[in-house]
A and B are shown apart, each in its own frame.
Chain A
């Protein structure tokens, strides 16, 4: 389905400076039982956010009222493991529109792009700078400009460019998805099917 358009986002951010955050942490398997795409945000980082008795873990960044915003900044190798798109849905449903990390796992990154959450890969040094800036001032804002492919720390003006392929960029800017594209070339696909040996 077509999703929200993404152009420029300026927001404060939640920090999660842990490496190798896997999709079982983002959303544990026992919360994948729905047959509709809704409500996954409640269980985002379930076992890091809540104690066994369902009380909140106060020290987890997503529970800390000093943080806010539509950007999640994660440690290196964010989103490894399972292909569950539920992980990207949970990130979206919680209210995030952008995830920043110095390295993303492939499938998670793809899933984000397919639902309109922008994965922004920055250098290790800039990721560190962002974490430090948030630690210093939890309200510090980050500007993500998709058209110019730049991410900027507002407080210092320091900026870095990020990669995104031009096709996906166009999709994000316009809220198009891949199925719209594929449906439009269906006759070409049907011709190709005839050539397949099995």
Chain B
């Protein structure tokens, strides 16, 4: 029978099927961080069980870490306590731990691929909804709750009903100033914030074939923002090139054996999906969001839609625009902004900083804008320095911070103040997401750079030749 990429990987990990219930689903690699794991370890303690396969779990501190002065003790006692819990739990169960300041430390979804933890055909989970990022490698990767973290720690399995299958096809090449982030925000704006709930997505078409691995990660990362549990892209030569030689990638004979398996990972020509969408890149321009969920996005040169043209009901839509301080019919171009945030598991990789630097090079940051540039990991931070990007952004009046999730979810001190507008390369524009009362405009690193220079929402194509 013809099967999809998703079927092939999923079915290979089912240990047992329960009649009228979920599958017992095996997890190859498990990523943990300080926020969603402590209660799971308490659960293990209460049951008196140890981690079953400690070599399959990897710990990094990211959600609740400061992005300046990481060499000093963490000031917030609650944050310090979570970091200590992660360190102690990892040590007592034999789990590899990359704490604050460790050279491999960084955002969980950035360090996984960097270290070859992320592999094609693998199942990867983490107590974080953006685990979908790893689908860029042809892995089945998705976010789980803390009860499930405990399941994986204690039995390396979770209980999951198999999701339905969706394929999103996008044909064409990226236009000027259009990035993988824009492709993802465009798709979400078309499907809405819940349009893919209950589905697992495969992305297919020329735009994804031409995309770099980092671009694919950005797209898969945002799958959850349309409700999908995850999204994946079939592995190809670019994928193998990226993972080869990394720390936890199979070597020698194991590599050859894995490669034979990976080559089988693609959707059969006549395989059937429960739902398919078709888009073309000629319809996609640089995107920006205007509301309080990632589905409320549009081409940057458009006007905010009328309530009759959106999926939300009137009360919900008005509440959202009211929170943002916007009106129906407003143009986004020219709106004054206060902050710029570049970073997160969505857009905190080296290509994102290259894109940002390409626009700010030889220009100056707008005086009234506060910009937080936060690399996704120390490896990214080091590359920024090695490639001379640090000089470019410093010259333009910006400061580079230290790695972490930072203002994406504002658990640490990096909070956008109430009422202020931030153009952010992160993934969520929910009310208060970046700090109580903060107002987020999601966009690409190019749009963020253009806004940082002019101090208002600006089409990045104005700065590109």
Contact = CB atoms under 8 A, between A and B. Distances in A.
A106 B147 contact: no
Contacts of B258: 197-198
A165 interface: yes
Contacts of B129: 81-83, 107
Interface in A139-198: 165-168, 177-179, 181-183, 185-186, 188-189, 192-193, 196-198
Contact of A103 (B122, B163, B197): B197
A29 B410 contact: yes
B22 A165 contact: yes
B85 A35 contact: yes
A24 B428 CA distance: 10
A22 B433 CA distance: 10
- The secondary-structure label for the interface of chain B is loop
Interface string A66-84: 0000000001110011111
Determine which residue in A52, A114, A165, A186 has the highest number of CB atoms from chain B within 10 A of its CB, and name it. Answer: A114
Contacts of A193: 26, 53, 156
Given A83-B36, A83-B143, A105-B227, A186 B155 contact: yes
B78 A114 contact: no
Contacts of B324: none
Contacts of B157: 182, 189
Interface string B194-222: 10011000000000000000000000000
A182 B25 CA distance: 10
Contacts of A22: 293, 428, 430
Contacts of A136: none
Interface stretch (B311-319, B330-338, B447-455): B311-319
Interface in A18-63: 18-20, 22, 24-25, 28-30, 32-37, 47, 52
A17 B315 contact: yes
Nearest to B418: A52
A125 to B, nearest CB: 14
Contacts of B127: 83-85
B332 to A, nearest CB: 20
B257 to A, nearest CB: 6
Given A24-B433, A83-B36, A166-B20, A77 B147 contact: no
Contact of A192 (B26, B39, B159): B26
Contact of B144 (A25, A83, A168, A186): A83
A182 B159 contact: yes
A107 B82 contact: no
B161 interface: yes
Interface string B106-133: 0000000000000100100001110100
Interface residues of A, number: 58
A32 B35 contact: yes
A24 B229 CA distance: 18
Contact of A105 (B159, B163, B194): B194
B36 A85 contact: yes
Interface residues of B, number: 80
A121 to B, nearest CB: 11
B341 to A, nearest CB: 15
A103 B194 contact: yes
Given A29-B409, A47-B432, A183-B155, A106 B145 contact: no
Determine which residue in A24, A29, A30, A185 has the highest number of CB atoms from chain B within 10 A of its CB, and name it. Answer: A29
Contacts of B428: 22, 24, 81-82
A36 B42 contact: yes
Contacts of B52: 186, 189
B436 interface: yes
Interface in B142-158: 143-148, 150-151, 154-158
A183 B43 CA distance: 13
A1 B42 CA distance: 10
Contact of B197 (A1, A17, A105, A182): A105
Nearest to A88: B145
B132 to A, nearest CB: 10
B422 to A, nearest CB: 15
A179 B148 CA distance: 9
A155 B228 CA distance: 37
B24 interface: yes
A77 B197 CA distance: 9
B227 A47 contact: no
A111 B145 contact: yes
A80 B411 contact: no
Determine which residue in B128, B159, B315, B437 has the highest number of CB atoms from chain A within 10 A of its CB, and name it. Answer: B159
B431 interface: yes
Interface string B23-66: 01010100000011011001100110100110000000001100
Q: Which 4 A-B pairs have the closest CB atoms?
A: A167-B21, A85-B145, A83-B143, A166-B20
30 contacts: A22-B293, A25-B431, A32-B63, A33-B76, A33-B81, A33-B411, A35-B81, A35-B82, A36-B42, A77-B197, A80-B227, A80-B293, A82-B129, A83-B131, A85-B127, A86-B146, A104-B197, A106-B198, A107-B144, A110-B145, A111-B146, A111-B147, A115-B147, A168-B21, A179-B154, A189-B15, A189-B155, A197-B250, A197-B254, A198-B254
Given A1-B46, A107-B144, A185-B15, 7 more contacts: A83-B145, A84-B127, A86-B146, A105-B194, A165-B22, A182-B151, A197-B250
